[in-house]
Amino acid sequence: MQTLWLVLVAFLGASLGSFANVVAHRVPLGLSIVRPASRCPSCKAPVPWWGNVPVLGWLFVRARCHTCKVPISARYPLVELACGALAVALWLQLAGPALVPPTMLAKVLVPWLLQLVFIVALVTLTLIDLDWFLLPNEITLPLALCGLVAAFAQTRGPTPAAAALGAVLGGLVPWVGMRLYGALTGREGLGGGDWKLLMAIGAWLGAMALPFVVFAGALQGLLTAALFRRDFALATLPTLPGEDAPAVSPDVVPFAKLAVPFGPFLALAALEWLFFRGEIASLWPLARS
């Protein structure tokens, strides 16, 4: 029963990962995430139901569209696998390896579901930022609001006061710093969506997490850029199929002034805090409450 339960947990996480793939593809293009149903981006043929099974669907179609045979990126099953693994890791952190008694299920299930939503949203924003250098308001702002609501609904996260303080500091401090840096240098050192993501992270994790998230995110971003020794920015703005104009305005996505997307590394640092806060607190004095 324990193994079966963990399989179900992984399947739900992978299913949310599949949804994250859809959102990451459609939201930047201004498309509905509900309609139409999943379809091949090349020939527009609907994906059969068995092709939508997380991870296995990609294997069933042999990594190609069943109609036009265009290759399907391995990113899709990898994101699903990652979300499934994160779902299991979160459950083990909250409930342990043993099945919890029914009387404790609500106290474990509610925090798990809420925090899983936060995790999948971070994964989705990471995919979008890597593709577009964009953190859409349609995701970051509702995520911040959900973090404030979640503080009232669960006992495994920050208190409502800590969540509110985290949201204020996470949004206000970077926004002020961004404005001052822009006024002094005439350049943009922080993307407009980054402070909104920090606001959401502060709402979900509390104010105590913010110093680590900013420091670890910046450090890991710099190390990654140095490791690959290349610019992460796209050479040209993405365009919609059949159109010459950029899909996103250069004023919204200033590629020329951003070398490395900060969002993925903020998301990574937030996940590190979520899963390893105890270990971080032993090494990071600011994390000790």
Q: Are residues 19 and 75 in the same domain?
A: yes
Please give the pLDDT value at position 190: 67
Q: Are residues 263 and 172 in the same domain?
A: yes
- Distance, in Å, from the CA atom of 153 to the CA atom of 155, rounded to the nearest integer, reads 7
Q: Are residues 83 and 206 in the same domain?
A: no
| Mean pLDDT to the nearest integer, 2-19 | 94
| Mean pLDDT to the nearest integer, 254-273 | 78
Q: Are residues 111 and 199 in the same domain?
A: yes
- Distance, in Å, from the CA atom of 214 to the CA atom of 222, rounded to the nearest integer, reads 12
| Mean pLDDT to the nearest integer, 258-282 | 89
What is the band of 224 on the pLDDT scale with cuts at 50, 70, 90?
confident
Residues forming beta bridges with residue 79, ordered by sequence position = none
pLDDT tens digits for range 73-129: 999 999 999 999 999 999 999 988 777 777 677 788 899 999 999 999 999 999 999
Cβ pair 78, 126 in contact under 8 A: no
Q: Are residues 286 and 147 in the same domain?
A: yes
pLDDT tens digits for range 134-182: 999 999 999 999 999 999 988 788 999 999 999 999 999 888 877 776 7
Q: Are residues 82 and 113 in the same domain?
A: no
Burial class (CB in 10 A: 0-12, 13-18, 19+), 257: middle
Please give the pLDDT value at position 54: 93
pLDDT tops 90 at residue 207: yes
Rounded to 5 degrees, what angle do the CA atoms 138, 141, 143 make? 95
Please give the pLDDT value at position 272: 97
- Structure tokens, 200: 């959401």
- The number of distinct structural domains making up the chain is 2
- Last residue in a domain, options 77, 99, 121: 99
Q: Are residues 71 and 145 in the same domain?
A: no
Query: Side chain identity at 154, as an amino acid letter?
Result: Q
- Last residue in a domain, options 39, 72, 99: 99
Rounded to 5 degrees, what angle do the CA atoms 106, 110, 112 make? 120
Q: Are residues 227 and 256 in the same domain?
A: yes
Q: Are residues 116 and 30 in the same domain?
A: no
Q: Are residues 285 and 167 in the same domain?
A: yes
7 phi, psi to nearest 5 deg: -65, -40
- Structure tokens, 153: 């609904």
pLDDT tens digits for range 27-85: 999 999 988 888 887 888 888 888 789 999 888 888 888 788 888 899 999 999 999 99
Which residue range forms the structural domain that includes residue 45?
A: 1-99
